[in-house]
Amino acid sequence: MSRWEGFEEFVEVVNQGSFSKAAKVLGVSKSHVSQQVSRLEDRLNARLLHRTTRKLSLTETGEIYYAQCRQVVEDLEAAELAVNSLQEEIKGHLRIAAPHLIGEALMVPALAELSKQNPSLKIELDLTSHRVDLIAERFDLAIQVGERQEVNVVNKKLAPTNFHVVASPAYLKQYGTPQKPSDLKAHNCLLFVGDGYSKPWRFKGPKGTQSIQVSSSWSSNSGTILKGAAEQDMGLAYMPDY
C-alpha cells in the first residue's frame, strides 16, 4: 500500500464530519472512502476514528495524525497555488541560444517586447555559432537553422529560410557576376566556419541539390562579420534571407 493511499480520504472525512460528505467532495463512492481509511488504519496499526451510527470523532492517535496530515494538505495546496501563479505570470530565468546574425537581427526586438510584457522574467541571450547542448549547457531553448535530432528536444518550425549568394556592386563590377554554381570557384568566397569546419554552399536545381566547395581568403563564425566583409567588396557571401 502506498504511504499516500487513504491519506486524502482521511483528511476529508475529518474536515466534512462524515464519510458521505467526504465522498461527495472527492467525487467517489462512500464505500471507497471507508475502505481507504480502513486500509490506512491497518497500515498504521492504529485506530484513527471512532465510528458510531450517530457520530464520527477522532481518537487521540487520530488527532495527532490529523494535525500533521492537515499541515501536509495545506502545504500541497500552497504548492499548487504557487505553480498556478507561475503559469499566470511568467517569471524566472529564461536562457536562449541563437546564432549571432539571428540574435542581432531578429531576437533583440522580439525579446524586448517579451520583457515589457513580463517584467518579472529574466532573459539571458547567448549568441554562439556552435550547436549548444541544451541539457548540459542548461539552455531552455535554441534558435537555429535546421532541426535537431536529439530524442529529448522538441523542434518547432518558426519560419522557412533560404540562402542567397550576395556581393557588393563594386565587387561584381570588378570580378564579374557568376551565372551558375560552378562559376563560384573562380571567386573569393567569404566562408562561415563553425566548430572547425566550413559549411558547403548548396543549390537546388532540376537534378536535385548540388554542393559547391569554394575557396576563400576570409572566414568567420559570425554571419554579421561576413555580411560586413561582403559590403566592403571582399567577395561573395552565402547568406540567409533574414
Give CA separation, 59 vs 4, 42, 71, 167, 223, in Å.
20, 15, 18, 87, 74
Calculate the average pLDDT of the chain: 86
CB atoms within 10 A of CB 62: 20
State pLDDT tens for residues 36-84: 999 888 888 989 898 877 788 899 898 898 888 888 888 888 888 777 7
Q: Specify burial of residue 83 (Cβ count, 10 A radius: 0-12, 13-18, 19+).
A: exposed
User: Please, what is the Cα angle at 42 between 39 and 44, to 5 degrees?
Assistant: 110
Q: What's the pTM? A: 0.53
State pLDDT tens for residues 121-158: 899 999 887 888 888 899 999 998 888 887 778 889 98
CATH code: domain 92-142 is 3.40.190.10
In this prediction, residue 85 has a pLDDT band, given cuts at 50, 70 and 90, of low
Q: At residue 1, does pLDDT exceed 70?
A: no
> How large is the average pLDDT for residues 26-35?
90
Burial 128-162 (b: 16+ CB within 10 A, else e): beeebebeeeebeebebeeeeeeeeeeeeeeeeee
Percent of the chain with pLDDT over 70: 95
15-24, 160-169, 209-218: range with lowest mean pLDDT: 209-218
Tell me, yes or no, if the two domains 92-142 and 163-240 fold the same way.
yes
Which is more confidently placed, 87 or 153? Answer: 153
Q: In whole angstroms, give the CA distance from residue 29 to residue 63.
A: 25
State pLDDT tens for residues 14-30: 888 888 898 998 899 98
pLDDT, residue 3, reads 67
Contacts of 166 (CB under 8 A, 6+ apart): 230, 236, 237, 239
In this prediction, residue 236 has a pLDDT band, given cuts at 50, 70 and 90, of very high
Q: Options 2.60.40.1840, 3.40.190.10, 3.40.50.1820, 3.40.50.720; which CATH number does 163-240 get?
A: 3.40.190.10
The full set of domain ranges for the chain reads 7-88, 92-142, 163-240
Q: Hey, what CATH topology would domain 7-88 get?
A: Arc Repressor Mutant, subunit A (1.10.10)
